[in-house]
Amino acid sequence: MAIETIIFPDAEQAAQQVAKKIQQLIQRKPDAVLGLATGGTPLLLYRELIRMHAEEGLSFAQVRTFNLDEYEGLPPDHPESYWSFMQRNLFDHIDISPGNYHLPSGMLAADAVPEHCEAYENAIRAAGGIDFQILGIGRNGHIGFNEPGSTISSRTRRVTLCEVTRSDAAPAFGSIEQVPTHAISMGCATILEAKEIVLLAFGEHKAEIVAQAVCGDVSENVTASYLQTHQNIHFYLDSAAARDLRESM
């Protein structure tokens, strides 16, 4: 088992520790490259980074960021686009420069998508690679939007979203019909190239899949299990998300 799990009494304390790691990284390397996630899980982390910026002078002026994914068909100003999620929950409240953050575009014509995905990969490479990648985990074990069946060598590409992923997103959109069916996502290989990876998981609803990712076979059925092959991977969990882990270890 290669994944180090660190279990906290609650999500807030886990998020604070991850924020501290990011703070130390930025102090060491002011132009650090961060891989960012959206969804409910990183919200407490982003709140803590915003606090560190406001109260402790943590500057993101030179930091570069690359988000994992973006829905297809949502313009950036759509309230559920990951572009607007990032503005609302992080970028609007820190001193990051607009040229320094990147998200895939979900608004391209089909024939422009492959070139866009390749350019995204090249931009990550040109930045020197991702120093610190933040991940959440889907209930089906996805990282980014690498749904079951995605290969370990997958790269940034157009993906089809699973039913479970779309139904988890349905409350935010009002109904499952309004949730996009496709997205652009970094691939598993893209993620695995990050120098350090922290996956956050909070709540009992993540317990079963966390245990599978950590203790199960490395398999395309649970793409988070690919993280077992990484040399510098940590799972930051609250005790609810770690429930099944304790039983299986």
Q: List binders of ligand F6R among 4-63 (CB under 6 A).
A: 37-41
Residue 105 in the binding site for ligand F6R (CB under 6 A): no
Instruction: For residues 26 and 32, give the distance between their C-alpha atoms in angstroms, rounded to a whole number.
Output: 6
Q: Which of 143, 227, 233, 242 binds ligand F6R (CB under 6 A)?
A: 143
Catalytic residue among 48, 67, 69, 238: 69
142 among known catalytic residues: yes
Residue 187 in the binding site for ligand F6R (CB under 6 A): no
Q: What residues have CB less than 8 Å from 119, skipping those under 6 apart?
A: none
Nearest-CB residue for ligand F6R: 136
Of 5 and 146, CB closest to ligand F6R:
146
Instruction: For residues 216 and 189, give the distance between their C-alpha atoms in angstroms, rounded to a whole number.
Output: 19
> Interface mask (CB under 6 A) for ligand F6R, residues 62-101, using x and -?
------xx--------------------------------
234 among known catalytic residues: no
- Tokens representing 185? 């996502």
Catalytic residue among 131, 147, 168, 193: 147
Contact 145, 104 (CB under 8 A): no
Residue 179 in the binding site for ligand F6R (CB under 6 A): no
Residue 180 in the binding site for ligand F6R (CB under 6 A): no
147 among known catalytic residues: yes
Task: Identify the residue whose tokens are 């990147």.
Answer: 102
Q: Where are the alpha helices (H) located in 134-206, listed in sequence order?
A: 163-173, 188-192
Neighbouring-strand partners of residue 2: none
Nearest to 9 by CA among 236, 215, 235, 214: 236
- Tokens representing 99? 């040229």
Catalytic residue among 48, 53, 116, 142: 142
Instruction: For residues 29 and 225, give the distance between their C-alpha atoms in angstroms, rounded to a whole number.
Output: 30
31 among known catalytic residues: no
Of 8 and 145, CB closest to ligand F6R:
145
Residues near ligand F6R (CB under 6 A) are 37-41, 68-69, 136-138, 142-145
Q: Would you please indicate which residues are annotated as catalytic (active-site) residues? A: 69, 140, 142, 147
